[in-house]
Amino acid sequence: MIRRDALKNLGVLTGGLSLIPYACSLTPEIIFSNLPNIKKEQQDLIGWLCNCILTEDFENFPTPEIRQNFVLTQVNECLSEVEISEFLFGFENFQLALSPNKEIKLEELAPNEQLKFLTLQFEGKGVIADFLGVLKKYSLLHFVTSENYMKNYLKYEFIPGRYLGNVAI
């Protein structure tokens, strides 16, 4: 009996270890309370769009979080329920404008086709342009609130009131 249990446990362990690479992802999926239907793939698409609007420069302008997480956190926490529903509706229409049956992904297009598609969507009017406008607004906010930009370009001091000590009057 003990051998059978040992063989059974060995089989379960081997099967579990063979499935781990398929079940685990290196980057965890973040679930936002007001955006529960946005899955990892869609979060990556939003991050890619944000980087197309304004590319990230980690060397010169380091930030504590990546732009995709910042933008989605801002959308989740700062927009009202009506604005969030308009954002999600615009995102859905953006995906349908690219491919009605969602077979084509934006990353699979050639760079000039991507630029042409995004330019047409930005120049258009409607929910897709509003969706891209929200992404642009929060992408810019992510950039201008980086520490290096605020210190070196805006000459912003994080601690108010500089203390100069012994100064002749």
Which range, of 7-11, 24-28, 73-77, averages the lowest pLDDT? 24-28
| Distance separating alpha carbons of residues 54 and 70, to the nearest angstrom | 14
pLDDT for 22 equals 55
Cα 150 to Cα 144: distance, rounded to the nearest angstrom: 7
* pLDDT, tens digit (0-9, with 9 covering 90-100), for 52-78: 888 777 777 777 788 888 888 889 888
Q: Is 164 within a domain?
A: no
Between 93 and 19, where is the model more confident? Answer: 93
- Residue 91 included in any domain: yes
Using a 10 angstrom Cβ sphere, with 0-12 exposed, 13-18 middle and 19 or more buried, the burial of residue 49 is buried
Range list of H helices, 24-146: 40-53, 67-78, 81-98, 111-123, 127-144
Tell whether pTM > 0.75: no
Domain membership of residue 106 (yes or no) is yes
Confidence of residue 138 (pLDDT cuts 50, 70, 90): very high
Q: How far apart are CA 122 and CA 125, in angstroms?
A: 8
Q: Quote the CA–CA distance of 134 and 140 in Å, as a whole number.
A: 10
Q: Higher model confidence: residue 137 or residue 155?
A: 137
- Output the average pLDDT for the chain: 79
pLDDT above 70 covers a percentage of the chain that reads 83
pLDDT at 103: 64
Structure tokens at 31: 């679930």
Question: How high is the pLDDT of residue 3?
Answer: 78
Which tens digits make up the pLDDT trace of 74-106? 898 888 899 999 989 988 888 887 777 666 676
Q: Which residue segment(s) compose the domain that 98 sits in?
A: 41-55+67-154
Q: Would you tell me the crossing angle of helices 40-53 and 111-123 to the nearest 10 degrees?
A: 80
The total domain count for the chain is 1
Choose between 134 and 7: higher pLDDT: 134
Decide if 168 is inside a domain: no
- Domain presence at residue 112: yes
On the question of pLDDT at 23 being above 60, the answer is no
The verdict on residue 115 lying in a domain is yes
In a domain, 27, yes or no: no
